[in-house]
Amino acid sequence: MTILIKGAMIVTMNGEAPFVGDIFIDGDRIADIQPQINADFDEIIHGEGMTAMPGLINAHQHSPMSLLRGFSDDLKLMDWLERKMLPAEARMTPEDIYWGAKLAMAEMIKSGTTAFADMYIHMNEIAKVVEEVGMRASLTRGLVFLQNDGGKRMTEALDLIDRWSGKADGRITTMLGPHSPYTCPPQGLEEVVLLAQKRQIPLHTHLAETKEEVIKIRETYNQTPTEYLYDLGLFERTHVLLAHSVHLNRRDIRVLKGMRGGVCHNPVSNVKLGCGIAPVTEMMKQGITVGIGTDGAGSATTLDMFEEIKAATWLQKLDYGDPERLPAEQVLRMATIESAKLLTIDSEVGTLEPGKKADIILIDMRKPHLQPVHDIHSLLAYSVNGADVDTTIVNGKVLMKHRQLITIDEEELLREVSTRAKRIVEGL
């Protein structure tokens, strides 16, 4: 299958200046990008008035939590978690997980996200949805070691890796997921780290999301959460994706300098739950890779990565009182190639270049809020929202065209999630 995208404004995110041109897709890869391409093709997509850019990459997400969107807003974090989220999640069946994940993926496709990193339970159900709908994903079974479960969680985590790594035409990758410092005592965490090193599997974990976490780890181990992970060898032995990393001091940032992997910034969730603002630009100054994610819709409410892009740059400017912090092109890199690095897929996606996988979105610029076009990076960072995405392509396959989902029956999806969501939260 060959596709020619004709006459779009092309934003490659590889440092090249944007230009109007054509993109030729052959199979699952970008074959050529030129101001004009003359070639035989199976399908043409007219890109006039559109901007073509790499698909956005959501580097931290809990997709089934889409069923809990708007269910527990405006609560303190521990109330949100203990009174609402945990009781609701305990009611979720594997079938609920499947439909919640599909709801999340429908929203992501419709708002320009082509790849995501997920951590949850019943991950086989989520993998099935990824395979069916055509997205790209890094999947992780979250591991908590506060109770003795007879190794059940670890068995499920390894089963996910053995069963799904490289599947769905190579669109699925996997990680090991020790949930966080406060849910993983040293023995359990060391076991996971050694296993990750032995099998060369990346790690995905939460770090320093709240002040309460920092206090708890200090009281228990007389360390910051970052120091705790460092002393257990987390940053020496494998690639690590750290979600949140809000409450880091200067020494913590120095500890992370030079790590394999990096940090996923989740600005909307962190601010909405009152957790704080991560020191994103300070981490970047130390050469730490920082990408962007949404966290679950149970906290962030939205999975629109363009909203995260806005929040990320606005918060850094506000926090430091400096409008030059985190400029438009840099924050767009965070949501594309930098997030791709966190998922260890940057050799394949994250920029538009010949030879890379064809993960591309087209944004309709023919709207009042996107005109005039003085600086395309500024419009993408500050003005575009997910509803402006016209077409989403992953692995050379069109998943949405002219706002119509192709691989998901949207009417069926909305019927299923409405019924399931009501049952899950009833009485809570």
Name, in order, each residue with C-beta under 8 angstroms of 154's C-beta and a sequence gap of 6 or more. Answer: 143, 191, 192
Residue ranges, CATH 3.20.20.140, the chain: 56-342
CA distances 253 to 76, 256, 281, 327, Å, are: 27, 5, 11, 21
Residues 337 and 54: beta-carbon distance below 8 Å: yes
The two beta strands, 360-364 and 389-394, are antiparallel
Q: Is the pLDDT of residue 293 over 80?
A: yes
Distance CA 1, CA 100 (A): 31
The 10s digit of each residue's pLDDT in 170-184 is 999 999 999 999 999
Q: Is the pLDDT of residue 270 over 80?
A: yes
- Locate 212 and state its tokens: 């309460």
Token pair of 202, please? 């990346």
Percent of the chain whose pLDDT exceeds 70: 100
Q: Which CATH class name applies to 56-342?
A: alpha beta
What do you get for the CA distance between the two ends of the chain, in Å?
Answer: 50
* pLDDT over 90, % of the chain: 96
User: 7-24: per-residue pLDDT in tens?
Assistant: 999 999 999 999 999 999
Provide the pLDDT for residue 77. 79
Q: How does the average pLDDT of the chain come out, rounded?
A: 97
Q: Pick from 330, 339, 340, 394: which is nearest to 362 by CA?
A: 394
Condensed to tens digits (0 to 9), the pLDDT of residues 73-96 reads 998 878 888 899 999 999 999 999
Residues 6+ apart with CB under 8 A from 293: 58, 59, 60, 61, 116, 117, 243, 264, 265, 266, 308, 339
pLDDT at 15: 95
Q: DSSP string of 368-380?
A: GGG-S-S-HHHHH
Which uninterrupted H or E stretch holds 405? strand 404-405
How does pLDDT run across 131-165, given as a tens digit for each residue?
999 999 999 999 999 888 878 999 999 999 999 99
Residue 79 confidence (pLDDT): 87
Architecture of domain 2-54+359-405: Roll (2.30)
The answer to whether 319 and 328 have CB atoms below 8 angstroms apart is no
Tell me the C-alpha to C-alpha distance, in Å, between residue 301 and each of 72, 74, 86, 315, 326. Answer: 10, 11, 17, 18, 24
Give the tens place of pLDDT for each residue, 376-408.
Answer: 999 999 999 999 999 999 999 999 999 999 999
Q: CATH 2.30.40.10 in the chain, residues?
A: 2-54+359-405
Kindly report, residue by residue over 213-244, the tens digit of the pLDDT: 999 999 999 999 999 999 999 999 899 999 99
**Burial of residue 279 (number of CB atoms within 10 Å: 0-12, 13-18, 19+):** buried
The band of 99, judged by pLDDT with boundaries at 50, 70 and 90, is very high
DSSP string, 25-78: EETTEEEEEESS-----SEEEE-TTEEEEEPEEEEEE-GGGGGGTTSS-S--HH
Within 216-320, strands assigned E span 240-244, 261-265, 289-292
Pick from 285, 288, 334, 289: which is nearest to 311 by CA?
Answer: 334
Identity of residue 54: P
Supply 274's token pair. 């009152």
Q: For residue 65, what pLDDT is reported? A: 97
What pLDDT digit, counting tens, does each position of 24-79 carry? 999 999 999 999 999 999 999 999 999 999 999 999 999 999 999 999 899 887 88
